[in-house]
Amino acid sequence: MFDKPRAVASRACVAVGRCQLASLHALAVSAVGSLVVLALLLMPVGVGFRLLPPAARALRVLSDRSRSRADRWTGVRIGPPEPLPADRALNARKRSGAIIADEGFWRDLAWAWLEPVTGGLLVAVPLALVEYGVFGALVQPFVWRLINDGNWYAFVPVHSTATMCAALLLGLAFMAAGLLAAPATLRLHARVSRPLLSASRSVQLARRVERLAGTRARALDTQAAELRRIERNLHDGAQARLVALGMTLDRATRLMETDPAAARELLLDVRRTSEGALQDLRNLVHGIHPPVLADRGLGDAVRSLALDSFLDVHVETRLPGRLPAPVESAAYFAVSEALTNAAKHSGAREVGIVLTHENGLLRATVTDDGHGGADPSRGTGLAGVRQRLDTFDGTLDLHSPQGGPTTVTMEIPCALSSPKTCSS
Amino acid sequence: MRVVLAEDLFLLRDGLIRTLQEHGCEVVAVDNGPSLLRALLEEGDAAPDAAVVDVRLPPTFTDEGLQAALEARRRRPGLPVLILSQYVDQLYANELLAGGEGGVGYLLKDRVTHTGQFIDAVRRVAAGGTVMDPQVIARLLSRSDARGTIGGLTQRERDVLELMAEGRSNAAIAAGLHISESAVAKHTASIFTKLRIHPSADDNRRVLAVLAYLKR
């Protein structure tokens, strides 16, 4: 929003270039779409069966390219349809049959017919503005002397220095308008194409069901493992210490009469054991759900993390209320892991943590001033965090170029559970 | 000495009442946040000399006790409060210390098993001192170690620093480390020079200065 003008200008120029690419692409789509229709029409004479599979595949290559461009250029994500059926063992007739039965193929074809008309025209608008603007600004100042009356530039009849200047300014205005319109046009183009480019609703739902089944199974696994860990921890820790404590007390009771000094020693031992048991329980509780998180919510819990870190950690929170407890917990452990990684591996001195909740999305970013080059595939910490966030449809992005800085961004869609009641 | 005790678990409350009474305290026991705040703000004869407060209290079972104590101290600065908790958190310690008035303590609940030390802590807080749990200090020290801010101290000076930060007097430090009081004085002078902390004759100021240094 407050970018430098140069950055805005270069982005606009890139966007115009992309409009040019997209409009050429629309021509290719139109040609391949016609080829597919030709193949369909030639099916009764047999040639169509041979022609259809390669033509359909070529069309899919084009639609795939459009989808990836929509994501790369404008951030509009479009879920692709299922891959075209391509069983090499079948003969041409059966393969064509499978393609015709495929829903994605018909959506591709519908898109191929509409794209040149809607998308192609849309991206041509900024192009036409810029190109006509260039004509006005560069050609009109020189050409009006060479040609006679009837030389119009838009609504300006160019026949004198004054009108030439008007045409020049108008041309510059057209160029500016085209440049300004280009990024927005690309976004609009991606959005207009989305309904036909994306997978059908049933395919999307099937995928979602598959994903949910996967994350649910993993969540249950994680939960079961967590319960086992707690059980083992209690069994080997506090429980064992309490048994030892009982035995020591028993011996102390028996020694009370005969050897009070030894009994006293044993009782001191009992106290140490009970302190150890308490410490075990404390560590366990903190690992399950830190008390400050339960008391105060995510913001203060992260502030508490920051106070314990030996790095200089600056925490900025813009959370208008409490979040659902499971989300708070997942976000807390995610931030904790990111902070631990920064302390262990990055060589950073300062870390900035920002927590925001906007439009139903909790976003946590952890940025350190270390040397970067973090490899997300190495180590299990971030993978575990990613898996945990997955259960909430959350995402984790690691951006860590060589030389730093490293930024970990976590996003979890969630609603606020209650307005903020305490001001601290 | 009149002590307000806020603890909702019956077993613990009972034990604490008995311990405090054995040491000559008059105990007003409450078991939830709102009545704690009322008891802390009593005027005249019913005004408390000190309070022993569990962080987690009904009705919300969050940090109700701490909030009531902080609120009472906002209205009556310096009101002596000793907070007990199953878990010590640096954030809560900072909130208690923020006013800089003294008369605050923050201890793990486990410490009440050492009756003598617990009563000593109550008395020190009632007298306007600052008492911090060894675990709070241990975490501050390990953080300072990692940041390299107390690298120049000898092991003995570190031990003295630790006890000083917990809020102990020179006499108590000397007894704890089995050294003479003059040796403690020598160590503290050396610590203040090395860490460039302005020395203060007032015990409480000294604790706050040391804590402020460790929190940097």
Could you read off the pLDDT of A345-355 as tens digits, one per residue? 888 899 999 99
Residue with the bigger pLDDT between A335 and A103: it is A335
Element (H, E) at B3: strand B2-6
CATH code, domain with B144: 1.10.10.10
Give chain A's mean pLDDT: 87
Domain co-membership, B14 together with B115: yes
> What is the number of other CB atoms lying within 10 angstroms of the CB of residue A305?
22
Q: Give residue A423's pLDDT band: very low, low, confident or very high (50, 70, 90).
A: very low
Q: Is the pLDDT at A2 greater than 60, yes or no? A: no
| pLDDT, tens digit (0-9, with 9 covering 90-100), for A273-286 | 998 899 999 999 98
Domain co-membership, B91 together with B116: yes
**Gap between the Cα atoms of A149 and A223, Å rounded:** 83
Element (H, E) at B64: helix B64-75
If you average pLDDT over residues A388-397, what whole number do you get? 88
Element (H, E) at B95: helix B90-97
Determine the residue of chain A that is closest to B91 in CA distance.
A304
**Structural domains of chain A in order of their starting residue, each with its CATH number:** 1-199 (no CATH), 203-288 (1.20.5), 292-419 (3.30.565.10)
Residue A269 contacts B, CB cutoff 8 Å: no
Tell me the ipTM for this assembly: 0.91
User: In terms of residue numbers, what domain contains B29?
Assistant: 2-132
Question: Closest to B91 (Cβ–Cβ): which among A271, A279, A303?
Answer: A303
Residue A422 contacts B, CB cutoff 8 Å: yes
Q: What's the number of domains chain B is made of? A: 2
Q: Is the pLDDT at A404 greater than 80, yes or no? A: no
Question: Closest to B110 (Cβ–Cβ): which among A275, A307, A309?
Answer: A275
Last residue of a domain, one of B99, B132, B165: B132
**Cβ pair B91:A274 closer than 8 A:** no
Last residue of a domain, one of B105, B132, B159: B132
If you average pLDDT over residues A203-228, what whole number do you get? 90
**What are the φ and ψ backbone dihedral angles of A47, each rounded to 5 degrees?**
-60, -35
Domain co-membership, B199 together with B105: no
Structure tokens at B182: 């003059």
Determine the residue of chain B that is closest to A277 in CA distance.
B110
Model pLDDT, residue A379: 64
Helix (H, G, I), strand (E, B) or coil at B53: strand
**Cβ pair B62:A304 closer than 8 A:** no
| pLDDT, tens digit (0-9, with 9 covering 90-100), for B62-88 | 999 999 999 999 999 989 999 999 999
Determine the residue of chain A that is closest to B95 in CA distance.
A424
Relative orientation angle of helices B134-147 and B203-215, to the nearest 10 degrees: 50
**What are the φ and ψ backbone dihedral angles of B53, each rounded to 5 degrees?**
-125, 130
CA proximity to B102, closest of B163, B26, B39, B50: B50
Structure tokens at B95: 């909130």
Model pLDDT, residue B50: 94
DSSP at B197: P
Question: A311 to chain B, minimum CA–CA distance in Å?
Answer: 7
**Gap between the Cα atoms of A362 and A200, Å rounded:** 29
Helix (H, G, I), strand (E, B) or coil at B134: helix
Last residue of a domain, one of B132, B148, B169: B132
CA proximity to A115, closest of A193, A174, A168, A171: A193
Q: Give residue A420's pLDDT band: very low, low, confident or very high (50, 70, 90).
A: very low
Beta strands B104-108 and B130-132: pairing type? parallel
Question: B90 to chain A, minimum CA–CA distance in Å?
Answer: 6
What's the count of helices (H) and strands (E) in chain B, helices before strands?
10, 6
Structure tokens at A397: 């992005």
CB A127 within 8 A of CB A15: no
Model pLDDT, residue A95: 85
CB B48 within 8 A of CB B71: no
CB A194 within 8 A of CB A67: no
Helix (H, G, I), strand (E, B) or coil at B130: strand
**Among residues of chain A, what percentage have pLDDT more than 70?**
96
Model pLDDT, residue A62: 92
A341 Cβ contact partners less than 8 Å away, ≥ 6 residues apart: A374, A379, A381, A382, A408
Domain co-membership, B111 together with B10: yes
Cis status, amide bond into A81, omega within 30 of 0: no
Domain co-membership, B128 together with B196: no
Domain co-membership, B65 together with B9: yes
Structure tokens at B8: 């909702």
Domain co-membership, B36 together with B119: yes
Three-state SS annotation for chain A:
CCCCHHHHHHHHHHHHHHHHHHHHHHHHHHHHHHHHHHHHHCHHHCHHHHHHHHHHHHHHHHHHHHHHHHHHHHCCCCCCCCCCCCCCCCCHHHHHHHHHCCHHHHHHHHHHHHCCCCHHHHHHHHHHHHHHHHHHHHHHHHHCCCCCCCCEECCEECCCHHHHHHHHHHHHHHHHHHHHHHHHHHHHHHHHHHHHHCCCHHHHHHHHHHHHHHHHHHHHHHHHHHHHHHHHHHHHHHHHHHHHHHHHHHHHHHHHHHCHHHHHHHHHHHHHHHHHHHHHHHHHHHHHCCHHHHHHCHHHHHHHHHHHCCCEEEEEEECCEECCHHHHHHHHHHHHHHHHHHHHHHCCCEEEEEEEEECCEEEEEEEECCCECCCCCCCCHHHHHHHHHHCCCCEEEEECCECCCEEEEEEEECCCCEECCCCC
Which residue in the block uniquely carries the two structure tokens 């008891």? B39
**Gap between the Cα atoms of A160 and A145, Å rounded:** 8
Mutating which of A310, A322, A332 best tests the B interface, going by the most B Cβ atoms within 10 A?
A310
CATH code, domain with B114: 3.40.50.2300
Q: Is the pLDDT at A419 greater than 60, yes or no? A: no
Beta strands A361-368 and A406-413: pairing type? antiparallel
**Gap between the Cα atoms of B205 and A259, Å rounded:** 48
Determine the residue of chain A that is closest to B60 in CA distance.
A295
Q: Which of A67-76, A399-408, B28-37, B142-151 has the highest mean pLDDT?
A: B28-37
DSSP lists the bridge partners of residue A300 as none
Helix (H, G, I), strand (E, B) or coil at B151: coil
Whether the full predicted model's pTM is greater than 0.80, yes or no, is no
Q: Is the pLDDT at A301 greater than 50, yes or no? A: yes
Domain co-membership, B95 together with B7: yes
Residues 138-197 on B with a CB inside 8 Å of A are 139, 143, 146-147
**Cβ pair B62:A300 closer than 8 A:** no
Q: Give residue A424's pLDDT band: very low, low, confident or very high (50, 70, 90).
A: very low
| pLDDT, tens digit (0-9, with 9 covering 90-100), for A23-55 | 899 999 999 999 999 999 998 888 888 888 889
* Single-letter residue type at A327: V
Domain co-membership, B143 together with B126: no
Residue with the bigger pLDDT between A145 and A268: it is A268
Structure tokens at A184: 């927005």
**Among residues of chain A, what percentage have pLDDT more than 90?**
38
Domain co-membership, B119 together with B143: no
Domain co-membership, B140 together with B128: no
* CA angle (A128 as vertex; A123, A134 as ends), nearest 5: 135
DSSP lists the bridge partners of residue B81 as B51, B104
Determine the residue of chain A that is closest to B66 in CA distance.
A295
**Cβ pair A309:B92 closer than 8 A:** no
Q: Is the pLDDT at A422 greater than 60, yes or no? A: no
Per-residue pLDDT of chain B (216 residues; tens, 9 = 90+): 999 999 999 999 999 999 999 999 999 999 999 999 999 999 988 899 999 999 999 998 999 999 999 999 999 998 999 999 999 999 999 999 988 888 999 999 989 988 999 999 999 999 999 999 999 999 999 999 888 888 888 999 999 999 999 998 889 999 999 999 999 999 998 998 888 888 777 878 888 888 888 888
**Burial class of A360 by CB neighbour count within 10 A (0 to 12, 13 to 18, 19+):** exposed
Question: B111 to chain A, minimum CA–CA distance in Å?
Answer: 9
**Using a CB-CB distance cutoff of 8 angstroms, which residues of chain B are in contact with residue A308?**
90, 139, 143
A221 Cβ contact partners less than 8 Å away, ≥ 6 residues apart: none
Residues 272-331 on A with a CB inside 8 Å of B are 274-275, 278-279, 282, 285-286, 291-292, 294-296, 300, 303-304, 307-310
Mutating which of A275, A280, A292 best tests the B interface, going by the most B Cβ atoms within 10 A?
A292
**Using a CB-CB distance cutoff of 8 angstroms, which residues of chain A are in contact with residue B89?**
291-292, 304
Residues 17-56 on B with a CB inside 8 Å of A are 55-56
Cis status, amide bond into B59, omega within 30 of 0: yes
| pLDDT, tens digit (0-9, with 9 covering 90-100), for A107-157 | 999 999 888 888 888 888 999 999 888 888 888 888 777 776 667 888 888
Model pLDDT, residue A158: 80
Q: Is the pLDDT at A267 greater than 90, yes or no? A: yes
Structure tokens at B13: 């409350």
Domain co-membership, B169 together with B98: no
Mutating which of A281, A283, A307 best tests the B interface, going by the most B Cβ atoms within 10 A?
A307
**Using a CB-CB distance cutoff of 8 angstroms, which residues of chain B are in contact with residue A278?**
110
DSSP lists the bridge partners of residue A357 as A362
If you average pLDDT over residues A75-97, what whole number do you get? 81
**Using a CB-CB distance cutoff of 8 angstroms, which residues of chain A are in contact with residue B215?**
307
**Gap between the Cα atoms of A53 and B121, Å rounded:** 85
**Gap between the Cα atoms of B159 and B175, Å rounded:** 13
**Gap between the Cα atoms of A288 and A305, Å rounded:** 15
